[in-house]
Amino acid sequence: MAESDGLVSLRDRRFAAIQTVFRRSNERLSRQLGFALGSALYVCECGDDSCSDLISLNQVEYEHVRSDSTWFLIASGHEILAGDSERILETHEHHQVVAKSGAAGAIADALDTRRVRAVARDG
């Protein structure tokens, strides 16, 4: 029992780590755009490292997803990967916002570049 829990947890943590890599890519794009009006194409953060789906969001929509370090932006229908460590928070026409929990959520939080920058800024 403990072993299978460990395997599930390992898989969930792996997905969370991959998702934070895609989030970093989106964060780079967002910083380059600044607060430009209009929409940009962000990469799906579903955790499938072969997924290359793009999601069109405006800056307000993107900032909303980034308002919590355990939330991720995924294309509609891509929520199946992470199992119990992830739940759908919001469903929009072309994308969903999912929240990580447990060990996966802790990884997502620890690897949030905005959080790291805020700590560096605020001491």
Nearer to Zn ion, 108 or 122 (CB): 108
Nearer to Zn ion, 16 or 46 (CB): 46
In 3D space, the residue among 96, 105, 103 whose CA is nearest the CA of residue 78 turns out to be 96
Residues that bind Zn ion (CB under 5 A): 44, 46, 51, 53, 75, 78
Inter-helix orientation angle 102-110/2-33, to 10°: 30
Nearer to Zn ion, 46 or 98 (CB): 46
Minimum CB distance to Zn ion, residue 86 (Å): 12
Nearer to Zn ion, 43 or 107 (CB): 43
Minimum CB distance to Zn ion, residue 82 (Å): 11
Minimum CB distance to Zn ion, residue 118 (Å): 28
In 3D space, the residue among 58, 27, 66, 31 whose CA is nearest the CA of residue 43 turns out to be 27
The residues near 70 (Cβ < 8 Å, ≥ 6 apart) are 99, 100, 101, 105, 108, 109
Minimum CB distance to Zn ion, residue 46 (Å): 3
